[in-house]
Amino acid sequence: MRFAIIGIAACLSSMSSAQVDPLAPLPNLPPGQPVRRPAWAPPQQPGLTGFAAYKLRLSALARAARVREATIQNVVPWLSLNSRVIELDRGQPGGVRNPNAAPPFAPYRRRHVNADLISRGAYRYAASRSRLLAIEARSGVEASVLMAIFGHETSYGQVTGNFDLLEALATLAYEGRRRAFFEEEFVAALKLVDQNVVSRSRLRGSWAGATGYPQFMPSAVLRLRTDGDGDGRADIWSNQSDALASIASYLRDAGWKPNVHWGIPVRVPYNLNRAALRTSLNAPRCAPVYKRHSRWMSMREWRALGVTPTGRAFAEAEVATLIEPDGPNATAYLLSNNYRAILDYNCSNFYALSVGLLADAIVGG
């Protein structure tokens, strides 16, 4: 992810701690009144409670999604609750940070756009340049951005997570903080096994359910995995070309516009009227992230305000938004719509900025 994710997982939102356990016993009813079990309740079986009973629901959901019975029986009965997954999920931040009190970007940048990631990314870029440029030609997504996401997500495939993905997703669904979301992802993961996309033993990833070199959620794997080397398979768990092509598919699906750079560093006048540039847009998701962006204006309009590129520039008619991640009169960037595509991968300004800057550094920008 990005969710993300994390990449995608960073955007998970908490539900009320007073939420009712869907597997709790039904209340006592007056004599003669029929019992109506909720639609989500698993079939009653004597002696089954808790997670054991909940697995009946997971099986029912999988059947409804046309997963083969043999796959269901080979997986679901053997699942166990993972206490470490619950511990990690409950340890997530419990509130939304005030966007006006966000920490500076510089320390995060030093950790995620460092000499090691740059040098290894540049080496891999050079070694696979022809295939990368072919993916870029087909998708329109900058090859350097693909390599930077690969590096940021898994350190170029070195750290992909070792949690049993089906067990982790079943645990998160049972815990109930985002039951509907994780149930859908569990069924999607089961489909990956059922459709022979990946073997059960290789389906591993992060505690939050992301998997493979791109750290996709299972539903994204089903929808966006792409064959990058023409061998007829899309293996995002061990094939770098397939992973990079799949990342390109994700960004293109998120609205990437060909031939437009993600963003450019700029100088901002000391007396810039920032209050007049505040955005009035209300983002449907990750609102605090987008609140740090200014309103959108053309490159020509930004120049008229004295905002000037320090290197490459957008076309004069291209619209962009301003962000000052280290506060006023420090670092500043104009961001294109393609920056928003990176945010769709992981809704964090620090993540998206570090991906863009790492991409530029990989190719010497």
Q: Is the per-residue pLDDT at 28 higher than 50? A: no
Average pLDDT, the chain: 87
Query: Which amino acid does the sequence have at 336?
Result: S
User: Within a domain: residue 86?
Assistant: no
Q: Is the per-residue pLDDT at 48 higher than 80? A: no
* Residues 325-362 pLDDT 10s: 999 989 999 999 999 999 999 999 999 999 999 999 99
* Sheet of strand 297-298, all strands in order from the earlier edge strand to the far edge: 297-298, 319-323, 333-335, 263-267, 308-309
pLDDT of residue 61: 98
User: Within a domain: residue 331?
Assistant: yes
User: Domain of 307?
Assistant: 263-335
* Residues 219-271 pLDDT 10s: 999 999 999 999 999 999 999 999 999 999 999 999 999 999 999 999 999 99
Q: Is the per-residue pLDDT at 102 higher than 80? A: no
Local confidence band at 41 (pLDDT 50, 70, 90 cut-offs): very low
pLDDT of residue 93: 63
DSSP class of residue 228 equals S
pLDDT of residue 9: 42
User: Within a domain: residue 54?
Assistant: no
User: Within a domain: residue 144?
Assistant: no
User: Within a domain: residue 356?
Assistant: no
pLDDT of residue 209: 97
User: Within a domain: residue 65?
Assistant: no
Alpha-carbon distance of 325 to 266, in angstroms, equals 12
* Residues 264-303 pLDDT 10s: 999 999 999 999 999 988 888 888 999 999 999 999 999 9
User: Within a domain: residue 107?
Assistant: no
Domain count, the chain: 1
User: Within a domain: residue 274?
Assistant: yes
